[in-house]
Structure 1
Amino acid sequence: MQDSDLRLDGNAAAGWLHEIFGREMTAVSSTCAHCSNAAPLGALLVYASDIGVVMRCPTCNAALLRITHIRGRYCLDVNLAEPLTG
């Protein structure tokens, strides 16, 4: 199995993002801390498993957001150059 077989677009994380932020987040703009590419969260590359997702920059593949769900709690690790806007 290749990485591309596991890759989804950012819309695949819409439910998790809504649970954390309490609103629809796929149109919210993000800026990569590594290459400064700006893209909506829905355009990021998502790698998902049962316990979490990693959202990566579509330009340089840097991990921008990591979300895990363990024992009923969400943990969010953010690596963005600017705060989420939108």
Structure 2
Amino acid sequence: MLDGNAAAGVLREVFAADMTMAFTSCAGCGTTYQLGELRLFASAMGMILRCPSCDMAMLRVGNIPNGYWLDLRGVQVIKVARA
């Protein structure tokens, strides 16, 4: 199993900052992690980043022909540091 760092390429295209260093809180258990610490489940259709504590799907990215579909329902907040 890979960790959230393996999602860096796609996340870099979606977000300008290095999102693996951003802090996020799980909507399920409230635990805070850096995105790079989340567990990654990926396929050609997209990817799911899950909370290491409670296994909640925090961030889903779907590949579509002209971009990406994002579902952040499992995230309470994302804190991104300024460059």
4+ runs deviating over 4 angstroms:
none
1:60 lines up with 2:54 in the alignment: yes
Within-5 A mapping of 1:7-86: 7-78=1-72, 79-82=74-77, 84-86=78-80
**Pairwise CA distance, 1:16:** 0.7
How many Å separate the matches in 2 of 1:29 and 1:22?
A: 15
Q: What secondary structure does 1:58 align onto?
A: coil
Give the AA of the match of 2:7. A
Report SS of the residue matched to 2:53.
coil
The two structures have a TM-score, normalised by structure 2, of: 0.90
Deviations along 1:17-56, whole A, 9 cap, x unmatched? 0000122110100100000010000000000001200000
Question: For structure 2, which runs of at least 5 residues remain unmatched after alignment?
Answer: none
Gaps of 5+ in 1: 1-6
- Counting strand residues as a fraction of each chain, which structure ranks higher? 2
Aligned-residue CA RMSD (Å)? 0.9
